[in-house]
Amino acid sequence: MAHAEPEIIPRSRALAKERRREQLIKATINCIAKRGFSATTMADITKEAKLSLGIVNLHFQSKEKLLLETLKYLAGEYQSHWEKALNEAAPSPVSKLVSVVNLDFSKTICTRKKLAVWFAFWGETGSRPMYMKTCAEYDSHYTKVEAGFFAEIIRDGNYQHLHAQTLAATLDALTYGLWLDMLLMRNDLDRNQAKAVIMDWLHSIFPNHFQIPDRPA
């Protein structure tokens, strides 16, 4: 009997294991969104996942590792969306950038739940080097790619007085800043209003490349 299983069972087991991990990570995300970082306990997480209390340490060794894996999961999830957004966009740098902006303020990424979790992690990042490292790895890559797109537009459009690196930094900062606005309900922006702020800025820089967004009420 044993000779038939080594090929099949490990695979399904690995899948089952991966499913358990994802189940726990998603429960963690939900709990942090609901209760906040500091009030989220293992009991909350396992209850949310409808699993037993001991299972986290079975799959993640410790709470700290679960949290780190959760952050990596979020980062990885964002990355795959980001790459998909770029791949599906038309080849022009303008389309690529618009596609990224659309993603950042899409229903998939820009939910209160996810923003709450991201800022929960960023709030802890100041004192947890591992979180910072995880965030930084991904983010600097995005900025570089975006700077590349801006550079292309600058070159092709004779905008030599502009600085691609700065524009990319501006785009990123605007995005994160608008996310925080939305989380804190500071200026009562919704997703589309936030996106309009970005598009407005892009239009002001490259009036021939980016359209004026419809101004929401």
Partner DNA sequence: AATGAATGAGGGTTCATTCAT
Partner DNA sequence: CATGAATGAACCCTCATTCAT
Site of interaction with a second copy (CB under 8 A): 33-39, 112, 115-117, 119-128, 132, 135-136, 139-140, 143, 163, 166, 169-170, 172-178, 180-181, 183-187, 189, 196-197, 200-201, 204-205, 215
- Residue 64, contacted partner among a second copy, DNA, none, CB below 5-8 A by kind: DNA
Q: Copy the structure tokens of residue 210.
A: 């980016």
Question: Which span (45-53, 118-126, 146-154, 209-217) binds DNA, by CB under 7 A?
Answer: 45-53
- Per the CB < 8 A criterion, the answer to whether 66 and 45 are in contact is yes
- Residue 20, contacted partner among a second copy, DNA, none, CB below 5-8 A by kind: DNA
Judged by beta carbon, residue 47 or residue 81, the one nearer DNA is 47
**Residue position matching structure tokens 């340490």:** 57
Residue 110, CA distances (Å) to 77, 80, 104, 123, 195 in order: 13, 15, 6, 18, 11
- Per the CB < 8 A criterion, the answer to whether 82 and 142 are in contact is yes
- Residue 130, contacted partner among DNA, a second copy, none, CB below 5-8 A by kind: none
- Residue 15, contacted partner among a second copy, DNA, none, CB below 5-8 A by kind: none
The answer to whether residue 184 forms part of the interface with DNA (CB under 7 A) is: no
The answer to whether residue 36 forms part of the interface with DNA (CB under 7 A) is: no
- Give the contacts of 175 (CB within 8 A, at least 6 positions apart): 101, 104, 198
The answer to whether residue 11 forms part of the interface with DNA (CB under 7 A) is: no
Whole-number Å distance between alpha carbons of 61 and 83 = 31
Computed from CA positions of residues 191, 196, 199, 205, in that sequence, does the dihedral angle turn out positive or negative? negative
Question: Which span (33-41, 147-155, 175-183, 187-195) binds DNA, by CB under 7 A?
Answer: 33-41
Which residues lie near DNA (CB under 7 A)? 9, 13, 16-17, 20, 39-43, 51-59, 61-64
